[in-house]
């Protein structure tokens, strides 16, 4: 298998922008009576009404739809998926707000390619800034539609009616009809466009409030079915024979012993070898009984990785700088304060607690796959291509899954399970082992960042040059005001398969930039907070920086060799974050403990402050791993630490005291908040470690062996 | 295949399985009790935690042949008549989950902790729960949930002396 560079998926691929093909879907029949409201993106679409569900002539380009049933229950359909980021709750809040119904009257149908409108996937913090406005517009249009229906029924002017609490009310409550009563006996399809004015955040009553997570009860009772919990009648269990290393060639295979086991079938299609068995135990025993010989070619390792990335550019990629201003070289020549440094980040694994899993079932030429993925339609496309099927012949269903963090964009287990199920003629479940998850998924890219920068006598930045090799272009341009700039991303040939990870390269680039800012502040003899503010015109970033510093008590207590304080900030994808960290140095200067973290956050109007706090705290804790100890070790096409015992992730005992300051800008549109909360911690910790020890640790993870290096004598 | 009579969540269940098959595999793949999760298969993450005679145990490490006479409680066996236990209730109230995949293991580990130590301090909670991983990083809320559960439990159950 060739290492693949999986695109970061920040931009919607044009080839995937085809709309859903509603006319061959019969699920509408299942909805019963009521009204189905479809949102189309452009006002050019004709307003249609009165068509029955079976009319089969819905427009192709539908952004979203919702159904209001005769019992007033509202069902909203979206291609976004719930992976722990709590959008099942926050999206429903926004719909309830605009539709003027109780929050719990809403059911979200998500991530089922037969039932929901096409969607590129759930990544890039796009749900809140893009899907929320679509659903809000649809709900507002639906509300107006109900007002019109009531106006017609009562033969009164629509302006005399209001929508509130799931009812249309006439003349201050003289008479009212519930939405269900209004649509009862009907079977209407209404096409609407996004023309309605949305409710301003200042007037929100349901959005903007800490509504608890939907379905929490099902998780604490074990009732929720994750993708790996799905069971189908007659289902077999699969397992895949993995090569001994990446890019390995299969030299010989003897599966006779495996095939003697009861009920076992060995399936081979070229280099793809798998087994199916009546139970999971037998499947894995059969796999172990296969005698396969592989030839694994010599391949790079962590040793010399960053030289390798720099000297192996990805050919054919655009090599133009992202941003150029003035002349960095000239400014550097005469600058009184200058600093040049390399920063690195290692490959790390997402390690979602639920490994990749899929259940595939073929029935009458139609393939249905239940799987954990952030891109149900992307996986559907992969299956269509692999098995030469039309879109109506493939259905991908994504039950709310055991997290992803950017790691579940591809359909690997879906493809594997579908191959096994096709040959076996029965549904097949495939759950990757932890070792497979650590080896055959993809990694957050490793990267080398080279920065040289300069400031004048007053501590004003005059030059900034930032090169990123391989890890990515996210948050590569500096938010600080610098007259001379050169900023460039250099894609490399990655020795490991790599792809998206929460916040993409914003973590790496922000680590390098904010550590470098700390060096410059130190060289200029200026407090790190003051140095940042001196060079920062971006008001939203200034606001969180000041908010975090105030809450932390920045500058009140000096750092000591035992306790260091650090500060960092950053922005990407509409999120503004500033982080202050207090680290404790123990065990004679060897042990690092992050004791306290204060993080201030702003991403426009807050949709759900409780969910937001949960995401931010989780981001900070996840960030501890990449900052201090997470690192994939590899050599010659093999992952050397594919177990939690050897790949340390943050645990309860790593948890610092966490304080979060939310800046709620109700005057600004809401941005996504699932990712960028992760980018402040590592540089804040690096800067705190310097403040305590005088050592600059320019590599992530900073303490791969679990302890600080000895200070240079 | 051998035959076992397992006592799970108050019921006696017959199951045929190889003697070295893990309890986790038997629960999930033969008894359709999917509340216990596979996370690593190596006892490192705690997602598969069940109570065996009250002791929190990694069901991915223990063979079915070793639990024949024991009382096993899985997440499906907590609570009665649709009522949540104080620990379950506290997890809901504190919003102590994100994706929820670690939750059943966390709830069972916390349940065992509170049986032994009804009013644990912060450090005791961290120490007891440290073998259970949450990749979403929900640890602060889980600690808060265990503390809340301790309070709920104290309210529900009168102290020893008061019962006599």
Residue A433: both structure tokens together: 């082992």
Q: Do B42 and A644 touch (CB under 8 A)?
A: yes
HSE-up of residue A291 (Cα within 13 Å, Cβ side)? 3
B137, B145, B152: best mutation site toward chain A, by most A Cβ within 10 Å? Answer: B137
pLDDT at A147 over 70: yes
Share of chain B above pLDDT 70, in %: 95
Compare CB distances from B135 to A85, A223, A403 and report the shortest one's residue. Answer: A403
Confidence at residue A593, expressed as pLDDT on a 0 to 100 scale: 97
Q: Give tens-digit pLDDT for A616-657.
A: 999 999 999 999 999 999 999 999 999 999 999 999 999 999
Q: CA of B104 to nearest chain A CA: how many angstroms apart?
A: 6
Q: Where are the domains of chain A?
A: 14-220, 228-296+356-431, 305-347+443-700
* Cβ atoms of residues B146 and B132 within 8 Å: no
CATH T-level topology, domain B2-77: Ubiquitin-like (UB roll) (3.10.20)
Closest-CA distance, B160 to chain A, in angstroms, reads: 28
B84/A220 CB distance under 8 A = yes
Q: Binning pLDDT at 50, 70 and 90, where does residue A169 land?
A: very high
Hey, which residues 478-537 in chain A have their CB within 8 Å of chain B? none
| Interchain CB contact of A237 with B (< 8 Å) | yes
CA gap A369, A360 in Å, rounded:
4
pLDDT at A192 (0 to 100):
81
Buried b (16+ CB within 10 A) or exposed e, A368-384: bbbbbbbbbbbbbbbbb
DSSP string, A652-699: GGGPPEEEEEEE--TTS-----SSGGGSSHHHHHHHHHHHHHS----E
For residue B130, the chain A residues in CB contact (below 8 A) are 651-653
pLDDT for position A318: 66
pLDDT grade, residue A418 (50/70/90)?
A: very high
Instruction: Give the chain B residue nearest A235 (alpha carbons).
Output: B29
Has residue A17 got a pLDDT over 50? no
In chain B, which residue ranges form alpha helices assigned H by DSSP? 23-25, 86-94, 103-116, 122-129, 139-156, 160-163
Chain A residues within 8 A of B93 when measuring between CB atoms: 212
> If you average pLDDT over residues A477-499, what whole number do you get?
97
Determine the residue among B128, B136, B144 to mutate to test chain A binding: the one whose Cβ has the most chain A Cβ atoms within 10 Å. Answer: B136
With cut-offs at 50, 70 and 90, classify the pLDDT of residue A57: very low
**Secondary structure of residue A82 in the 3-state scheme:** coil
> How close is the nearest chain B Cα to the Cα of A644, in Å?
6
* Rg (chain B; Cα; Å): 16
pLDDT, tens digit, for every residue of A573-604? 999 999 999 999 998 889 999 999 999 999 99
Asked whether A474 and A508 are in contact (CB, 8 A), the reply is: no
Is A651 touching B (CB cutoff 8 A)? yes
Tokens 């145990």 — which residue?
B57
* Res A397 pLDDT > 60: yes
Q: Between 2.60.40.60, 1.25.40.340, 1.10.10.10, 3.30.365.10, what CATH number should domain A14-220 receive? A: 3.30.365.10
The hierarchical CATH code for the domain A228-296+356-431 is 3.30.365.10
Work out the percent of chain A whose per-residue pLDDT is above 90.
84
Q: Is A153 on the interface with B (CB under 8 A)?
A: no
Alpha-carbon distance of A695 to A54, in angstroms, equals 70
Task: Please report which helix (H) or strand (E) contains residue A307, including its range.
Answer: helix A305-311
Let me know the angle formed at the C-alpha of A407 by A402 and A411, rounded to the nearest 5 degrees: 90
Q: Residue A434: which of B39, B75, B132 has the nearest Cβ?
A: B39
The alpha carbon of residue A84 is apart from the nearest alpha carbon of chain B, in Å, by 4
CB contact under 8 A, B135 and A228: no
Q: Say if CB B26 and CB B15 are below 8 A apart.
A: yes
- Measured between alpha carbons, how far is B107 from A100 in angstroms, rounded to an integer? 36
Bridge-partner residues for A362, per DSSP?
A367
Phi first, then psi: what are they for A105, rounded to 5°?
-85, 0
- Residue contact B126–A226, C-beta within 8 A: no
Q: Which residues of B touch A212 (CB under 8 A)?
A: 92-93, 95
Superfamily of domain B86-163: [2Fe-2S]-binding domain (1.10.150.120)
CB–CB contact B99 A83 (8 Å): yes
Average pLDDT taken over every residue of chain A = 91
DSSP conformational letter for B42:
S
Q: Residue range B17-27: average pLDDT?
A: 98
Does the distance separating the beta carbons of A213 and B97 come in below 8 Å?
A: yes
The answer, for A641 touching chain B at a CB cutoff of 8 Å, is: no
Quick one: closest CA in A to B40, which residue?
A434
Q: Check CB contact under 8 Å for A222 and B104.
A: yes
In chain A, which residues have their Cβ closer than 8 Å to the Cβ of B134? Answer: 353
Tell me whether residues A86 and B98 touch, CB distance under 8 A.
Answer: yes
Q: If you measure CA to CA, which chain A residue comes closest to B86?
A: A220
Looking at residue A637, its pLDDT comes to 97
* pLDDT computed for residue A29 by the predictor: 62
Placement of tokens 């809140």 in the chain: A128
Query: In chain A, whose CA is at the least distance from the CA of B92?
Result: A216
Query: Which residue has better confidence, A141 or A518?
Result: A518
**How many contacts (CB atoms, under 8 Å) link A and B?**
174
pLDDT at A45: 41
Contact B40 A84 (CB under 8 A): no
Task: Spell out the domain ranges in chain B.
Answer: 2-77, 86-163
Hey, what are A629's tokens? 């100890």
Task: Give which of A652, A655, A656 to mutate to test B binding, by max B Cβ within 10 Å.
Answer: A652
A433 touches chain B (CB under 8 A): yes
- Token pair 């952030």 in the structure block, residue: A374
> Which among A393, A500, A479, A491 has a CA at the least distance from the CA of A448?
A491
A305-347+443-700 in CATH: which number? 3.30.365.10
Backbone angles phi, psi at A242, to 5 degrees: -95, 145
Task: Please name the residue of chain A whose CA is at the shortest distance from the CA of residue B50.
Answer: A222
Q: Does residue A643 sit at the B interface (CB-CB below 8 Å)?
A: yes
- Chain B residues in contact with A653 by the CB 8 A cut-off are 126-127, 130
pLDDT of residue A2: 35
- Cross-chain CB nearest to B92 (options A220, A280, A614): A220
Angle at B111 between CA B110 and CA B113, to 5 degrees: 60
Q: Are B87 and B79 in contact (CB under 8 A)?
A: no
Closest-CA residue in chain A for B101?
A402
Please check the confidence at residue A20 and state whether its pLDDT lies above 70.
no
Residue in chain A closest to B26 (alpha carbons) equals: A281
* Rounded Cα gap, residues A506 and A494, in angstroms: 18
Rounded Cα distance between A143 and A123, Å, is 30
Residue with the two structure tokens 């009812």: A167
pLDDT, position A59 = 57
Question: Quick one: average pLDDT of A187-191?
Answer: 82
Residue among B25, B36, B141 minimizing CB distance to A281: B25
Specify the residue for token string 């640790």. A697
Q: Is A650 on the interface with B (CB under 8 A)?
A: yes
- In 3D space, the residue among A433, A359, A342, A406 whose CA is nearest the CA of residue A644 turns out to be A433
Report the mean per-residue pLDDT for chain B.
95
| Pairwise CA distance, residues A470 & A508, whole Å | 11
- Are A402 and B141 inside 8 Å of each other by CB? no
Q: How confident is the model at residue B26 (pLDDT cuts 50, 70, 90)?
A: very high
The pLDDT of residue A327: 97
Q: What pLDDT is recorded for position B73?
A: 98
CB contact under 8 A, B29 and A280: yes
pLDDT of residue A711: 74
A350/A366 Cα distance (integer angstroms): 32
Q: Is the peptide bond before A701 cis (omega within 30 degrees of 0)?
A: yes
Residues A386/A390/A393/A397 CA torsion (nearest 10 deg): 70
Instruction: Quote the minimal CA–CA distance from A22 to chain B in Å.
Output: 31
Cis peptide before A656 (omega within 30 of 0): no
What is the Rg, in whole angstroms, of the alpha carbon atoms belonging to chain A? 28
Separation CA A72–CA A623 (nearest Å): 44
Whether the per-residue pLDDT at A6 is higher than 60: the answer is no
Determine whether the interchain pair B133/A644 forms a contact, defined as Cβ–Cβ distance below 8 Å.
yes
Minimal CA separation from A672 to chain B, in Å:
16
């Amino acid at each position: 298998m060739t290492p693949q560079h999986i695109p970061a998926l920040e931009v919607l691929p044009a080839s995937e922008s085809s709309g859903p093909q509603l006319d061959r879907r019969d699920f509408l029949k299942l909805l019963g009576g009521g009204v189905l409201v479809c949102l189309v993106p452009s006002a050019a679409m004709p307003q249609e009404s009165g068509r029955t569900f079976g009319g089969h002539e819905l427009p192709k380009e539908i952004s979203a739809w919702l159904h209001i049933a005769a019992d007033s229950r509202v069902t909203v359909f979206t291609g976004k998926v719930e992976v722990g980021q709590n959008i099942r709750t926050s999206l429903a809040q926004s719909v309830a707000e605009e539709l003027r119904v109780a929050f719990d009257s809403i059911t979200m149908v998500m991530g089922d390619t037969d039932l929901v409108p096409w969607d590129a996937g759930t990544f890039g913090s796009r749900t809140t800034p893009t899907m929320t406005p679509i659903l809000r517009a649809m709900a507002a249009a639906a509300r107006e539609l109900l007002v019109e229906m009531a106006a017609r029924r009562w033969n009164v002017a629509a302006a005399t009616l209001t929508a509130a609490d799931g009812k249309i009310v006439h003349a201050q409550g003289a008479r009212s009809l519930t939405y269900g009563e209004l649509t009862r006996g009907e079977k209407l399809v209404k096409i609407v466009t996004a023309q309605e004015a949305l409710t301003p955040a200042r007037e929100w009553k349901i959005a903007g409030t800490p509504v608890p997570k939907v379905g929490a009860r099902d998780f604490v009772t074990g009732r929720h079915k994750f993708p790996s919990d799905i069971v189908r009648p007659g289902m077999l269990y699969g397992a895949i024979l993995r090569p001994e290393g990446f890019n390995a060639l299969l030299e010989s295979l003897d599966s006779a012993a495996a095939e003697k086991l009861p009920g076992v079938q060995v399936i081979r299609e070229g280099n793809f070898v798998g087994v199916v068995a009546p139970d999971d135990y037998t499947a894995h025993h059969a796999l172990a009984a296969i005698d396969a010989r592989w030839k694994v070619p010599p391949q790079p390792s962590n040793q010399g990785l960053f030289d390798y990335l720099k000297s192996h550019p990805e050919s054919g990629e655009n090599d133009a700088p992202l941003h150029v201003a003035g002349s960095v070289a000239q400014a550097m020549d005469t600058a009184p304060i200058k600093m040049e440094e390399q920063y690195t980040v290692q490959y790390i694994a997402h390690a979602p607690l639920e490994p990749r899993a899929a259940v595939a079932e073929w029935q009458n030429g139609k393939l249905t796959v239940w799987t954990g993925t952030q891109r149900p339609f992307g996986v559907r496309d992969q299956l269509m291509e692999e098995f030469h099927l039309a879109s109506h012949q493939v259905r991908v269903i994504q039950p709310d899954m055991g997290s992803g963090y950017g790691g579940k964009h591809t359909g690997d287990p879906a493809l594997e399970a579908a191959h096994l199920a096709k040959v076996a003629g029965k549904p097949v479940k495939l759950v990757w082992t932890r070792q497979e998850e650590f080896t055959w998924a993809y990694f957050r890219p490793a990267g080398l960042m080279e920065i040289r920068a300069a400031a004048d006598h007053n501590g004003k930045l005059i030059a900034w040059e930032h090169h990123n090799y391989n890890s990515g272009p996210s948050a590569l341009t500096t938010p600080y005001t610098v007259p001379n700039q050169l900023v460039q991303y250099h894609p490399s040939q990655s020795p490991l398969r790599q792809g998206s990870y929460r916040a993409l390269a914003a973590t790496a680039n922000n680590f390098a930039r904010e550590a470098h800012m700390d060096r410059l502040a130190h060289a200029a003899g200026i407090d790190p907070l003051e140095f940042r503010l001196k060079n920062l015109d971006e008001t939203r970033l200034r606001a969180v920086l000041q908010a975090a510093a105030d809450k932390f008590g920045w500058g009140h207590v000096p750092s000591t060799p035992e306790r260091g304080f650090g500060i960092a900030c950053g922005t990407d994808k509409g999120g503004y974050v500033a982080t202050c960290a207090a680290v404790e140095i123990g065990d004679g200067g060897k042990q690092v403990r992050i004791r306290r973290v204060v993080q201030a956050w702003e991403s426009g109007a807050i949709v759900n402050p409780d969910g937001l706090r949960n995401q931010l705290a989780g981001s900070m804790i996840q960030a501890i791993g990449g900052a201090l100890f997470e690192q994939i070790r590899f050599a010659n096409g093999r992952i050397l630490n594919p177990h939690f015992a050897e790949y340390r992730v943050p645990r309860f005992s790593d948890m610092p005291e966490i304080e979060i300051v939310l800046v709620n800008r109700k005057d600004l549109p809401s941005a996504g908040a699932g990712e960028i909360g992760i980018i402040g911690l590592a540089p804040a910790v690096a800067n705190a470690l310097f403040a305590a020890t005088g050592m600059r640790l320019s590599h992530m993870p900073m303490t791969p062996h679990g302890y600080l290096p000895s200070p240079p004598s | 295949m051998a035959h076992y009579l397992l006592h799970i969540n108050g019921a006696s269940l017959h199951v045929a399985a190889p003697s070295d098959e893990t309890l986790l595999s038997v629960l999930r793949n033969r008894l359709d009790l999917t509340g216990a999760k596979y996370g690593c298969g190596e006892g490192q993450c705690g997602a598969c935690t069940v109570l065996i005679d009250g002791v929190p145990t990694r069901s991915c490490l223990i063979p079915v042949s070793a639990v024949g006479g024991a009382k096993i409680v899985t997440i499906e066996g907590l609570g009665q008549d649709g009522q949540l236990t104080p620990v379950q209730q506290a997890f809901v109230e504190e919003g102590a989950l994100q994706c929820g995949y670690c939750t059943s293991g966390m709830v069972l580990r916390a349940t065992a902790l509170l049986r032994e130590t009804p009013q644990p301090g912060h450090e005791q909670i961290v120490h007891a729960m440290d073998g259970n991983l949450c990749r979403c990083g929900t640890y602060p809320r889980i600690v808060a949930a265990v503390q809340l559960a301790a309070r709920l439990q104290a309210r529900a159950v009168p102290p020893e002396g008061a019962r006599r």
